[in-house]
Chain A
Amino acid sequence: MNPDSSIDIAIGGLLKLSTSTAGRALSAEQFVAELFEEHRDSVYKHVLMMLLNPSESEDVTQEAFLRLHRALLEEKKIENMKAWLFRVAHNLALDRMRSARPTDSLSEEMILNRAEMKSASLVPSPEQHLLTQESLRRVSWAVTKLPTRQRECLNLKAEGFRYHEIAAMLGIGRTSVIEHVRRAMSRLIEELETYV
């Protein structure tokens, strides 16, 4: 009997998000490898948006998937893997930020400057017509000034999570999530209106 077979897990039912792996029995390693290919960019973006630098964000992303791999090998039951992954990545990023050197996290000025420079060179899409260079600068400014929780909620919403998932990830109530999203949106609208 091959001892390695113990890490085989039946994926069907465990996972909601990955259609490519559902219903098949894969080794934990194969499974995480597939999941990694599919979701690493979103996790990376999320961590990046928490103002961690790219190198740290990359490391945190890998670490989050490794934690998932470990959890599967230890046969832990995970209901919603995507939510689980984001939560782990989120917490890892927070840990890194707490112990970060100044170069590990990005300053608000840095983001604003970069955003401003970048927005000048963007080829505008139809939606982007709505936003002038100045409005983008203002929104970016407003975003960086949002309370962390509100920014976290917006980022997770942008990743397509439902309110109850965000609530579970952040360890808060669903109503609080709604409140955070509402306040954040109100703040951004206010900023846009001021400019107009």
Chain B
Amino acid sequence: MFSRNSSNSEHLTDDLLVQYLDGELSGKRAAKAKEHLEICWRCRGRAKEFEKGVLSFLQHRKVIVRELGDPPGGFQGFHARMAQQREELLALKKTTRALDAGRIGKLLAHWGVAMRNSLLPRVTLATATFVVAAWMLFPTLPHVLAKEALKRAAQSEERMLHSYNSPVVHQQITVHTHGKQARWEIWRAPQGKKVRTTWNDGEVSQEIKGIYRDNNLDAEQPLSASGFSTWRESLAEKQDRITVDTRQHLVQISTEAMQSGTGQIQQVIFTLRQDDWHPVNETIYVHGADGLPTEYRLEETSYTVLPLDLVPTAVFVSSNAGAAEPATTSSAASGSINAVLEPTEARLLDSEVKLTKALHDVGADVREAPAIYRRDGEIAFSAWTEGQERKQQLLAATTKLPYIVSDIRDASSVRASKTAVGSALPALRSSYPTEPPLAKALWDYYGSAEAANRNLSEISDDEQAALAEASALSRLAKEYPETRWQQLPAQSQAILNQIAADHLAAIHRHSAAYLQIVSPLLDAMLTKENVNPEVVDQANRCASWRTAAPLLAEDLPRTQISLQRLFLEGHVETPVQDMSSSTLLTESARLRSRIRAELGQLCTP
């Protein structure tokens, strides 16, 4: 501890002195040092020198800090940065929870099948259960790892394939590269090892095949989690980054490969849908001979798994079992596969009408109200179904049609992750309480509150049914305005007229029942309240369903609302200025007249 000087007396070493002055010596040693300093001038002098050194250093610090001054930004923006960080981390955390709730999703799907109620309670129950269960079971999870996300995606792929004994995957991809787009279509039957691929661009096709071959990727399974995983695992060195797009509900895995050979993949950005971990997009950067990367963006436009017996027989005709032979087919080579015929406007129109008919035949135009639109020279339609069974029904009805890209989602299997992050359900609209002026009069009319309710339920059911049919017809009318209608061949017009006729029959049936109950009630109330609205029934002249249907679809709910305001206690969505019985009765009578007129105009085409 002490150093021995020439006169054999002990002095404190500098090390010891520094520790003593800094209060770093233990009690015993500190006491010994202190004792020594009290009697030793030399060591006390040395201590003073050290103190002086400390002071000078502090002075130096002070000057530097003063000179350089305060932070130029005044530490502004820190709280905002912190809040942003919190949001990002929470979003990531929630995604992770959703990720690990796959088994809960399974459970919910099971319940969804078991339940026979309407969609809303099912989804609500699933949502609520998921939120609670996910929160309770997975309160603290590590960050999403690329491997884990890909595992989920692969499981999701597997699940889809297990829907049938002999599943066939039909995948359509648009490849964006060199400033152009190429279409790639794959029919794949994993069990029979049959594959048929078609391209509309031979050049891009050759390039993609080369890249897939050189990088040990499976060209028969492009844009698949297992394919991406195989490539990712094969890399000696890689760097992953995961980003979550909470707005669009996408998870993006970016894997950078530390390799730089010509033709080698430099980076892949793999995008998964957060709903079901299905890959929808893949951007591949490949090292070019000039050292610059070439970008290939694979965008999935449709992915369907269907049973083999629903697949057009011509699909696998040219491929041999056990020997997958991807063929770049031309229109001529495609034979009876309509999907590869050049999509002219006439063919597209024809296909669109056939799709409309197919959806109508299974009642989808009323139940699911699918949206039909054009996309990249194809006809796309999207719909939400109540269950897997219904989804398959829609697929089966539409899969053989050419140029059709379907996006059908099963609402019962949708995980509640969207709701968990608070973005799926729209905010509740404000509502206003009503005091129905004729509630008591209604009970008297029917004899009791129970009878009144029973009749109101019937009114409501028939009104809803008429409205659903009128809405479907109205949508159809809007799909085919006059100019478009005129482009249709007579055969297509006939098909659409037949669909309209079906709707009209249903509208007349339900409206008649509706009016049968409402009319006597309304007349009795008009008499009782002594209200005489000046309503002139319009002459019934047949009009085109394409002009009359939209008006009816608008007036039916209005009538229902005015009846609700008259007789039902509760809330309405719009504020009511005048809730007097005479005003409401006048309004209802006027609407009844309009509905009668509109129904009169809706003659069978």
**Which residues of A pack against B, CB within 8 Å?**
1, 3-4, 6-7, 28-29, 32-33, 36, 40, 44-45, 48-49, 53-55, 57-58, 61-62, 65-66, 69-70, 73-75, 106, 111, 114-115, 117-119, 122, 127-128, 130-131, 135-136, 139-140, 143, 154-155, 157-158, 162-163, 178-179, 181-182, 184-186, 188-189, 192-193
A69 near B82: Cβ-Cβ < 8 Å: yes
The interface on chain B, measured as residues whose beta carbon lies within 8 A of the other chain's beta carbons, has a size of 48
B64 near A3: Cβ-Cβ < 8 Å: no
Complex Cα distance A182/B71, Å?
32
A176 to chain B: closest CB distance in Å?
12
Which residues does chain B contribute within 8 Å of A28, judged by CB atoms? 86
Complex Cα distance A192/B452, Å?
104
Q: Pick the contact of A139: B24, B60, B79, B135 (CB < 8 A).
A: B60
A60 to chain B: closest CB distance in Å?
10
Q: Pick the contact of B65: A49, A73, A182, A184 (CB < 8 A).
A: A49
A188 near B85: Cβ-Cβ < 8 Å: no
B81 near A66: Cβ-Cβ < 8 Å: yes
Which residues does chain B contribute within 8 Å of A36, judged by CB atoms? 75, 78
Which residues does chain A contribute within 8 Å of B73, judged by CB atoms? 55, 58
B435 to chain A: closest CB distance in Å?
37
Q: Which 7 A-B pairs have the closest CB atoms?
A: A58-B71, A114-B67, A139-B56, A188-B53, A185-B53, A189-B53, A118-B67
Complex Cα distance A93/B508, Å?
78
A44 near B71: Cβ-Cβ < 8 Å: yes
Complex Cα distance A157/B58, Å?
10
A141 to chain B: closest CB distance in Å?
9
Complex Cα distance A2/B215, Å?
46
Which residues does chain B contribute within 8 Å of A186, judged by CB atoms? 14, 53
Which residues does chain A contribute within 8 Å of B60, judged by CB atoms? 115, 136, 139-140, 143
In the complex, residue of chain A having the shortest beta-carbon distance to the beta carbon of B46: A189
B52 near A189: Cβ-Cβ < 8 Å: yes
Contacting A at CB under 8 A, from B40-60, are 49-50, 52-60
B63 near A136: Cβ-Cβ < 8 Å: yes
Known A3-B93, A73-B86, A136-B59; further 7 A-B contacts with Cβ < 8 A:
A69-B85, A131-B56, A136-B60, A139-B59, A140-B60, A158-B61, A178-B19
Known: A45-B65, A182-B18. A70 touches B85 (CB 8 A): yes
- Interface membership of chain B positions 410-439, coded 1 if the CB is closer than 8 angstroms to chain A and 0 otherwise: 000000000010000000000000000000
Most buried by A among B15, B58, B63, B85: B63
Complex Cα distance A108/B1, Å?
38
Complex Cα distance A178/B13, Å?
12
B24 near A162: Cβ-Cβ < 8 Å: yes
